[in-house]
């Protein structure tokens, strides 16, 4: 277990280097000149040149990268080009929103997807199975922005039950916070729920034909116990893999969802940064997201040890 952990950390290092270089260079490839953004269209060529020199934009790309990496590692993410606000502070303010949105979406996906998958597997080839699978297909096919807009129209505009925007920190007012986060979480979690449902159904079907399920029935366990106590835990391993792998997609969806619901999270920070050519804030937000994905993947792998004792030996 410890050896595995150490080797996993060593494996993460080259990934981290490659990813950080990609994040750094992606902003170089974006069209547009940050000097123009800062100084405005009316600035002179000399002013722009001076600013570029000051920012180090005239140096070679490897040199820019190393200097940038050094600053990142020391926790200095720079300041936003448009608001002068330190990027580290922006990340601190916005990360809780995205983290809460992701966690609530995963909870929604798990609470809906796993029971639906289990029921579809147990009642396979019945109308219940067909209905669940069709709903899942729909959930997968609907784009986030459209699902978000539909939910706002129904629950905010027509029914007036839930707000369409406005974030309240959880520790300030938990009820208002959850009310504001419910529609975004459903928007972002519905695709995940569909994927979880399909994976649960598939692995549950496989598990239910296993010999040890027959053993469980032979010793007198009734069907609910056979399915939940003996089947589900065995069926969950591939489901957890899917959830772990989907965290990346989920954070991508967070960009859209936060924009639709005007939540100031990391996703919206990226969108705003792109529109304003605000390189430091784009880089900071993307780095945080990418490293969260690496950490989540590590946690996913570690969860196998807890769930399946065979792996730890």
Partner 1 sequence: MLAYPNNADAVPATVTDAEGRADAAATPPLLRVQDLRVEFATDRGRIIAVDDVSFTLRPAQTVGIVGESGCGKSVTSLAIMGLLAAGTGRVASGEIMLRRRSGAWSDLVKLPRTQLPDIRGDEIAMIFQEPMTSLNPLHTVGDQIAEAVFLHRGAGRAEALERAAEMLARVGIPQPRQRLGAYPHELSGGMRQRVMIAMALSCEPSILIADEPTTALDVTIQAQIIELFRSLQDSSQMATLFITHDLGVIAEVAHRVLVMYAGQVVEEGSVVEILKRPKHPYTRGLIASVPRLDRPERGQARFFTIPGQIPEPGRRPPACRFMPRCAHAEVGICDAAPPPLEALPDGGSIRCVKWRSIETAPHA
Neighbours of 100 (CB within 10 A): 20
Of 19-27, 142-150, 181-189, 305-313, which segment contacts partner 1 by CB under 8 A? Answer: 305-313
Of 131-139, 162-170, 183-191, 219-227, which segment contacts partner 1 by CB under 8 A? Answer: 219-227
CB of 179 to partner 1, least distance (A): 39
Give the nearer residue to partner 1 in terms of CB position, either 1 or 28: 1
Give the nearer residue to partner 1 in terms of CB position, either 29 or 218: 218
Pick one of 19, 131, 210, 294: the residue that binds partner 1 (CB under 8 A).
210
CA distance 180 to 159: 15
CA distance 258 to 39: 29
CA distances from 204 to 25, 181, 199, 224, 226 (A): 44, 31, 8, 13, 11
Question: CB within 8 A of 93, min separation 6: which ones?
Answer: 264
Site string for partner 1, 234-263 (x = CB under 8 A): x-----------------------------
Of 51-59, 83-91, 182-190, 204-212, which segment contacts partner 1 by CB under 8 A? Answer: 204-212
CB of 119 to partner 1, least distance (A): 16
Residue 306 as a binder of partner 1 (CB under 8 A): the answer is no
Give the nearer residue to partner 1 in terms of CB position, either 2 or 310: 310
Residue 126 as a binder of partner 1 (CB under 8 A): the answer is no
Taking Cα atoms as reference points, which of 251, 267, 248, 250 lies closest to residue 259?
Answer: 267
Phi, psi of 210 (to 5 degrees): -75, 155
Give the nearer residue to partner 1 in terms of CB position, either 160 or 220: 220
Find tokens 């669940």 and name the residue. 132
CA distance 27 to 30: 5
Pick one of 221, 245, 274, 298: the residue that binds partner 1 (CB under 8 A).
221
Pick one of 212, 228, 295, 302: the residue that binds partner 1 (CB under 8 A).
212
- Burial bucket for residue 59 (CB in 10 Å: 0-12, 13-18, 19+): middle
Taking Cα atoms as reference points, which of 176, 201, 192 lies closest to residue 107?
Answer: 192
Pick one of 87, 197, 216, 290: the residue that binds partner 1 (CB under 8 A).
216
Fill in the DSSP letter of residue 292. H
Residue 217 as a binder of partner 1 (CB under 8 A): the answer is yes
Q: What is the size of the binding site for partner 1 (CB under 8 A)? A: 20
Residue 1 as a binder of partner 1 (CB under 8 A): the answer is no
- Burial bucket for residue 44 (CB in 10 Å: 0-12, 13-18, 19+): exposed
Residues that bind partner 1 (CB under 8 A): 210-212, 214-222, 230, 233-234, 307-310, 313
């Amino acid at each position: 277990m410890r050896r595995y952990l150490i080797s996993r950390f060593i494996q993460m290092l080259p990934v981290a280097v490659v990813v950080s270089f990609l994040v750094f260079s992606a902003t170089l490839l974006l069209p547009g000149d940050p000097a123009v953004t800062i100084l405005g269209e009316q600035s002179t060529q000399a002013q722009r040149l001076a600013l570029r020199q000051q920012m180090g934009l005239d140096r070679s790309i490897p040199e820019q990268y190393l200097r940038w990496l050094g600053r990142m590692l020391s926790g200095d993410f720079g300041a936003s080009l448009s608001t002068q606000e330190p990027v580290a502070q922006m990340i601190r303010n916005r990360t809780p929103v995205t983290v809460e949105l992701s966690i609530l979406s995963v909870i929604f996906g798990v609470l809906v997807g796993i029971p639906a998958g289990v029921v579809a597997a147990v009642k396979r080839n019945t109308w219940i199975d067909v209905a669940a699978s069709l709903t899942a297909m729909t959930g997968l096919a609907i784009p986030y922005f459209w699902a978000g807009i539909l939910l706002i129209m129904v629950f905010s505009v027509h029914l007036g039950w839930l707000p369409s925007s406005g974030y309240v920190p959880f520790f300030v007012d938990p009820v208002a916070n959850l009310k504001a986060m419910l529609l975004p979480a459903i928007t972002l979690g519905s695709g995940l729920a569909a994927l979880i449902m399909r994976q649960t159904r598939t692995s549950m079907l496989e598990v239910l034909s296993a010999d040890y399920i027959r053993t469980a029935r032979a010793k007198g366990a009734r069907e609910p116990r056979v399915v939940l106590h003996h089947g589900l835990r065995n069926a969950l391993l591939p489901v957890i893999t899917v959830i772990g792998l989907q965290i990346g997609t989920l954070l991508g969806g967070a960009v859209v969802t936060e924009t639709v619901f005007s939540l100031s999270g990391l996703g919206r920070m990226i969108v705003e940064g792109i529109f304003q050519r605000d390189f430091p804030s784009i880089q900071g937000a993307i780095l945080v997201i990418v490293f969260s994905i690496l950490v989540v993947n590590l946690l996913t792998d570690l969860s196998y040890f807890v769930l399946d004792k065979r792996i730890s030996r």
